[in-house]
């Protein structure tokens, strides 16, 4: 695989000829709706097929996978043109293997609202390790706000994508409640009820782990928050469920601001099995034009996290 940066005067036909791959494949691999609309500086993924298969009458995706020794998941990944759908037609060309050894393994997670576009989700799922339906809220008595997550979990399971349960203090108005977090983090009996409900949901829905996302936590609740994550880990880990905690994008331990002061990287890092750095939304819908996740900003957060 190569990453090609579009130069002045380039066109897709010429790029395809230069690399010796079909123009249609470059279009599919890069989701290009119009081959004539390239932008200087744009990056294109160029992949080199090593083994292909021409679909015969009577073939199904399952039979091709079995015959070629590939999983359905890998067959979908090798052929974005399928868009996660099992439909084949005679004469269609499928890529079974690409040149070059596989790259490093990465874990990929994606949040999804229950109302996500189904075709978008279908074609994305084969590339995800985890799918995280968004979100289970918390009530003041420790009960959970229900979520229509079963269709998403089922779609993921069909292609081998596991599901993570998402627990947050997001209210119906769309804001994270620091008052609700304060209530939960300082009432151990309430925590017991909440943890019991989380465990029941994990087991009945078939989730593979828990992602906790409490934002705008009061500064005085930083240590109680870490203690709560530790209690979750102690209850859930013996049953095979990892606990992940989402962290605001800090660049120093004493960074001011309500978004940051309630998240102690050291304490939460010690309490959780994994952490998720929320290195995004510098650019957003109502802000000035800029990248959602500028590389210098992301790097600064990662470098602090590594300390």
Active site residues: 215
d(CA 49, CA 97): 6
Q: Are strands 137-138 and 130-133 parallel, antiparallel or unpaired?
A: unpaired
| Residue 27 phi, psi (nearest 5) | -65, -45
Burial of 165 (0-12, 13-18, 19+ CB in 10 A): buried
d(CA 73, CA 126): 5
Q: How far apart are CA 58 and CA 100, in angstroms?
A: 31
Q: Report the chain's C-alpha Rg in angstroms.
A: 23
CA distance 256 to 174: 23
| CB 121 within 8 Å of CB 159 | no
How far from each other are the two terminal CA atoms of the chain, in whole angstroms?
33
Pairing status of strand 49-54 against strand 93-98: antiparallel
- Tell me if 274 sits within 8 A of 284, measured CB to CB: no
263/215 Cα distance (integer angstroms): 8
Helices (H), ranges, 20-117: 23-29, 61-68, 72-78
**251 φψ region: left (φ > 0), alpha (ψ -120 to 50), beta (else):** alpha
């Amino acid at each position: 695989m190569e990453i090609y940066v579009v130069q002045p005067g380039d066109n897709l036909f010429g790029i395809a000829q230069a690399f010796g791959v079909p123009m249609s494949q470059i279009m599919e691999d890069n989701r290009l709706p119009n081959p004539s609309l390239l932008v200087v500086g744009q990056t294109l993924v160029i992949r080199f097929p090593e083994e292909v298969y021409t679909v015969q009458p009577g073939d199904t995706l399952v039979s091709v996978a079995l015959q070629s020794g590939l999983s359905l998941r890998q067959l979908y990944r090798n052929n974005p043109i399928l868009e996660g759908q099992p439909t084949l037609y005679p004469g269609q060309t499928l890529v079974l293997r690409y040149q070059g050894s596989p790259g490093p393994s990465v874990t990929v997670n994606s949040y999804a609202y229950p109302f996500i576009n189904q075709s978008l989700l279908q074609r994305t799922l084969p590339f995800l390790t985890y799918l995280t339906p968004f979100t289970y809220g918390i009530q003041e008595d420790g009960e959970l706000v229900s979520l229509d997550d079963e269709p998403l979990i089922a779609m993921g399971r069909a292609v081998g994508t596991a599901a993570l349960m998402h627990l947050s203090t997001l209210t119906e108005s769309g804001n994270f409640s620091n008052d609700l977090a304060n209530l939960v983090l300082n009432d151990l009996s309430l925590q017991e009820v909440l943890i019991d409900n989380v465990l029941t949901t994990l087991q009945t829905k078939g989730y593979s782990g828990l992602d906790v996302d409490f934002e705008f936590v009061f500064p005085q609740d930083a240590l109680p928050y870490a203690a709560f994550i530790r209690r979750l880990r102690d209850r859930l880990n013996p049953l095979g469920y990892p606990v992940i905690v989402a962290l605001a994008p800090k660049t120093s331990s004493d960074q001011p601001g309500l978004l940051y002061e309630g998240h102690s990287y050291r304490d939460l890092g010690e309490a959780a099995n994994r952490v998720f750095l929320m290195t995004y939304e510098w650019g957003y819908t109502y802000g000035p034009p800029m990248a959602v996740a500028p590389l210098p900003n992301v790097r600064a957060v990662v470098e602090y996290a590594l300390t």
